[in-house]
Amino acid sequence: MLLVSWNVAGRKSRLQEQADRVLQLSPDVVCLQEVTPVTAGAWSERLAAAGLTAALAPLPRSREGFRDAFRALNGFESKEPSWEWPRWGGGYRLDHLIASAEVTVSACSYRHDWRRDDLLSDHSALVAELSVRV
């Protein structure tokens, strides 16, 4: 199962390009942050046209059994800021995949090129290969 998680920064003017990038990966699950009331309808339509169902999902309240999937696979020595301020060369890894014990994550990485090269958001997308035990 392929998951794409991305903070799309509420960008109405770049929404079609953002959706094209996400959908060209043929994801099974798409998790978007900073979708606004103005952009929610367009995102829902694009996802539905690709065979995906849009839903609002609250975060779980319990932390027990959850882990940072990127850190679990890549360790703490990997420095990959998903949001940066280019003027000073700093940044933070603000975008995460928090997975429960029922989720096995076999790959987890960032698409920095969508942010740095294409300027589609001020956040890098997170792409993960996973399976869910039910």
Count of structural domains, the chain: 1
Indicate whether 62 pLDDT > 70: no
Indicate whether 61 pLDDT > 80: no
Range from 47-51, 57-61, 62-66, 126-130 carrying the lowest mean pLDDT = 57-61
Indicate whether 59 pLDDT > 60: no
Indicate whether 70 pLDDT > 60: yes
> Domain of 31?
2-132
DSSP state of 24: T
Q: For residue 55, what pLDDT band results from cuts at 50, 70 and 90?
A: confident
